A and B are shown apart, each in its own frame.
Chain A
Amino acid sequence: MENNNAKMYLNEEINSNKTESRFLEFWKLFRKKKPALYSLYFIILLLALVVAGQYITPFDHTEPDYGNVLNSPSWPYVFGTDEYGRDLFSRIIAGTEIALTVSLTAVTIGAIAGTILGLISGFFGKWIDKAIMRLCDILFAFPDLILAIGIVAILGPGLQNVIIAIAFFSVPSFARIVRSSTLEVKELLFVESAKSMGASRKRIVFKHIFPETIPVVIVYFTMNVGTAILSAASLSFLGLGAELSSPDWGAMLSMGRDYIGTSFHIVFFPGLMIFLTVLAFNILGDGMRDVLDPKTRD
């Protein structure tokens, strides 16, 4: 009995060492990718702003101040003020939470659903595979943003429906990418040996195949967050997403475009923030792909 316990303990240690060394190996290579590393720092900063933003913003982002309407950037309003005299810097910081919550939630849902479908499709093959892939083909036949607009047209405007729409069009691409890496892993020796040892299909899929697909999913996840932020901002800009009075970056641009020409800062800064955030996710995604999935590079 004791012997058994010791064995289990040993096994676990080997396993945790394996994950740890994998991560260290990744980090050693990743650290050298300076642009990706700085992008990661930027994203961590944004996440910190989501948590602590409300304590450091100089002004209340909801409080109108009719004595300071449409101020150009100047101290103490570093990014200027909007048409209600609200501090733009404070509003942009408050908008970080909306942008990251919406995009991360949507892509997480899409990634989970897509990964499960991809694993099933790749592992079981035959008609299940065909059915799932045909379903993906149908979803691919609609341009992403058009599909999202259609879904929001049915469900009605609002951030929750934006999340559903974005999650929906993220599913097929995750399904395809996980399917193809499942097909590769399935043929590997250790999966064969697990099979021959009588492991259940569930165990093979989740214990042996799924972990091997994680790197691809992570890379793809990161890249999709950028796209999701852009899509969500586009929908808000079109009036189909966040409430126009909220500090959502897309909604701020939508409201601000009437003041272009006289007060350009109120469209400039929210847009710049969308750009920098999406850029950071894209560069991070590129860097991680180079390290985790080198064969797709060049």
Chain B
Amino acid sequence: MLRYIIKRLLSLLPLLLVVSFFVFMFIHFIPGDPARLMAGQDAGVEEIENARNALGLNDPILVQYTTYLSSLLQLELGESYRSGIPVIDLISDRIGPSLLLTFFSILWALVIGILLGIISAVFRDRLPDRLGMLTAVSGISLPNFWLGLVAIQIFSVQLGWLPTGGINDGLKSYILPSFALGAGIMAMIARFTRSSLVHTLKQDYIRTGRSKGLSGQHIIYGHALKNSLIPVITVAGLQFGFLLGGSVVVETVFSFPGLGQLLIDSISYRDYPVVQALILFFSVQFILVNLIVDILYSLFNPKIRYD
């Protein structure tokens, strides 16, 4: 087991290197001169040249990249052009609420999605299945920002139960954003749970169980479900990227002080060091979540460990 984990971790290194290289190149892709951007609009020739030296822009690309990597490893992500605050401080201020939001979203999405999927599979092709899958396809098609705005209109404006945004009301502030953010992934989990369970119920060992006279419930909850849920974890991991992208939009709707809103603010102020660091952060988070999912998967399914 440990060997498998180490192998997976090692195989991740090249990917992380390439991803960080792409993100490093980000600043070079931007039209215009990064040194001029950093020095500001009214900077003279000398100031721009100083900024260029400070940024190391006169060095060859590979030297620049190595410098970038070594500062990454020391968690030095540069300073914001806009405020001069170290990027790492900006991120650490906002990481908490963002992670909590993602956690709540995935939590309810998993619980409700799996339940909906089970109901649909058990009542396959009957009314509950039709309704469940209609809910699921609707969930996939809903723009999360619209869902958020409709939820604000109903629960904040009309009923006055929940805050319209921000995070000053404790856990209450997380209800509507998590609802809006999790809906899409809930729907995907429901669809996948259904198809996975339907597939499992067609397997031979289920038929054996039935012929032994096991009850339908016992078969589903005792045998089929366990095996159907293993692939669901993988799907949830792959859809995590969808959640990260969605968080940018949902945070904007709810004026939520998280990393997604920081990203959008930084883009509008052309605060590129922050944009660069956040894109790297989101991608690494996505890669790590999928690594964890892979490891979990191998825990549940010993077969793949030996490949």
A positions within 8 Å CB-CB of B: 137-138, 141-146, 148-150, 152-154, 156, 226, 230, 233-234, 237-240, 250, 253, 257, 260-261, 264, 267-268, 271-272, 274-275, 278-279, 282-283, 286, 297-298
Contacts and interface: CB of A to CB of B under 8 A. Distances in A.
Contacts of A278: 140-143
A250 B268 CA distance: 18
Interface stretch (B18-26, B50-58, B104-112, B292-300): B18-26
A154 B245 contact: no
Given A143-B244, A144-B241, A298-B195, A237 B283 contact: no
Given A138-B18, A154-B26, A144 B149 contact: no
A257 B153 CA distance: 10
Contacts of A143: 240-242, 244-245, 282-283, 286
B248 A238 contact: yes
Nearest to A261: B157
16 contacts: A138-B22, A141-B15, A146-B279, A146-B282, A146-B283, A149-B263, A150-B275, A226-B141, A234-B144, A234-B249, A237-B252, A253-B146, A271-B143, A271-B145, A278-B143, A279-B137
Contacts of A150: 26, 275, 279
Contacts of A137: 15
Contact of B252 (A226, A238, A261): A238
Q: Which 3 A-B pairs have the closest CB atoms?
A: A145-B245, A271-B146, A143-B241
Given A260-B149, A261-B157, A271-B149, A141 B283 contact: yes
A164 B307 CA distance: 39
Contacts, number: 132
B21 to A, nearest CB: 9
B99 interface: no
Do most interface residues of chain B lie in helix, strand or loop, or is the interface mixed?
A: helix
B246 interface: yes
Contacts of B214: none
B284 to A, nearest CB: 9
Contacts of A250: 143
B267 interface: yes
A268 B150 contact: yes
A272 B138 CA distance: 11
A257 B151 CA distance: 12
A154 B30 contact: yes
Interface in B76-108: none
B162 interface: no
Contact of B19 (A141, A154, A279): A141
Nearest to A285: B137
Interface string B263-295: 110011000100100010011001100000000
B150 A282 contact: no
A240 B275 CA distance: 14
B236 interface: no
A248 to B, nearest CB: 13
